[in-house]
Amino acid sequence: MLEDQAGGPPLNPIEMGMPDKSSIVKRLKENPDYVAAFGTQFGGDVFKSDESAYAAMTKALASFERSDEFSTFDSKYDRFLRGEEKLTDQEELGRVLISSTQFTNCNTCHEIRGAKGLEDGLFTNHKYFNIGVPANTAVRSANGSKPDAVDLGLAQNPVVAGDPAERGKFKVPTLRNVAVTGPYMHNGVFKDLRTVVLFYVKYKSKKPSRQINPETGKTWDAPEVPENIAMTELTSAPALDDKRVDAVVAFLKTLTDKRYEHLLPKEDGQGAVAPAQPVPVNVTPKAP
């Protein structure tokens, strides 16, 4: 349930890191508008216990997450689907490639259709895969993790009880707003969206240049969890050339909500592109 999910991050030590529910409720009560709204929506006794106030907060967050305001579907791509705007030739090429099951394998995991079809596509199949992402050593050193620590992903979930088949797997994220929500991958190891696309290409290309991480100028680091890598999915389509890599990146930018489009990277007039300004969030970096 969304309510259960909404209650997790505030208390999670690696997300918002609040010490307990009482501390969160105290912060809520500092805002008179919250106090008034909670009383109206949940009754005058809502703040009589920390448990009831915290439960009300999770219900409020879940209600917002279910609203049209939270999922606006008003990106350039959505406007294109409604016939309100045209894609550039480069963006259209990227759309065709992303939608293809022949020329790319993106659509294998980042499904373009939703429950209603294209109009509510979230670009994820909600499944879990190990795609061989390397460890983010910079984050490890910053957060005090042991140098030999390994993030086992789904295998660390108590529900699967350490099943070896789940080692290194992470949930396929949505691609919506991906152009303004870097850094990328589950651990934020890549800074640039184009690097992410090239990371996938390296599995299919035999060119030596494709085996180099453009952010480091060195060979891609080894996977943090080398077993269970989804090689079938990762190698099921031909490698992309630079033109098609750029087209995929261009299309991904069209998935940005209208309210965040001002954060997209801008060209400086000479072809160079300034980096995107990420949407501020109080969570550990996540990405596809």
Average pLDDT per consecutive 10 residues, the chain (288 residues; last block may be shorter): 91 87 97 96 96 97 88 95 98 97 92 93 96 93 84 92 94 97 96 98 96 98 96 94 98 97 75 53 36
- 8-30 pLDDT, tens digit per residue, is 999 987 788 899 999 999 999 99
Helix pair angle (50-65, 21-29), 10° resolution: 70
Predicted TM-score of the model (pTM)? 0.80
Tell me, what amino acid is at 91? E
Contacts of 35 (CB under 8 A, 6+ apart): 28, 29, 47
Domain spans of the chain, in order of start: 2-65, 76-263
Residue pair 72/259 in contact by the 8 Å Cβ criterion: yes
Strand partners, 218: 213
The class that CATH gives domain 76-263 is mainly alpha
How does DSSP classify residue 181? S
The class that CATH gives domain 2-65 is mainly alpha
**pLDDT at position 68:** 79
**pLDDT at position 147:** 78
**pLDDT at position 74:** 96
Strands 170-171 and 128-129: antiparallel
Which token pair is 65? 């997450």
**pLDDT at position 284:** 36
